[in-house]
């Protein structure tokens, strides 16, 4: 039901996958930022920030998989792996 609602709102699996990849990068940025911008708080606090943001990635990947599955059954999946490979070989 939630996945259907997200799909109706225009959220696609590609969006969730991009958010997952962005959260991996943001995790590193949060860790480095906390380490440099909060002197005296130690490595443990930076680790907690990095882990907190890093936990978003599996959630977004899971949403991406659920949306992809819904798109396959709905018929709105834009391309599959075979079409992508054929495009690469042709180009």
**pTM attached to this predicted model:** 0.71
Tens of pLDDT, residue by residue over 42-79, are: 788 788 888 888 888 999 999 999 999 998 887 777 65
Domain residues for 20? 1-37
Do 49 and 86 lie in one domain? The reply is yes
Do 55 and 21 lie in one domain? The reply is no
φ and ψ at 40, to 5 degrees?
90, -10
CA distance 74 to 66: 12
Instruction: Please give the tally of structural domains in the chain.
Output: 2
Do 50 and 74 lie in one domain? The reply is yes
Do 2 and 33 lie in one domain? The reply is yes
Kindly provide the b/e burial profile for residues 38-76, where b requires at least 16 CB atoms within 10 angstroms of the residue's own CB: eeeeeeeebeebbeebbebbeebbebbebbbebbeeeee
Tens of pLDDT, residue by residue over 11-51, are: 999 999 999 999 999 988 888 888 877 777 778 878 888 88
Do 52 and 31 lie in one domain? The reply is no
């Amino acid at each position: 039901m939630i996945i259907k609602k997200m799909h109706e709102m225009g959220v696609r699996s590609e969006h969730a996958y991009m958010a997952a990849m962005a959260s991996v990068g943001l995790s590193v940025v949060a860790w480095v930022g906390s380490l440099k911008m909060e002197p005296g708080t130690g490595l443990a606090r930076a680790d907690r920030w990095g882990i907190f943001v890093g936990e978003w990635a599996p959630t977004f990947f899971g949403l991406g998989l659920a949306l992809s599955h819904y798109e396959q059954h709905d018929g709105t999946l834009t391309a599959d792996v075979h079409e992508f490979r054929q495009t690469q070989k042709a180009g």
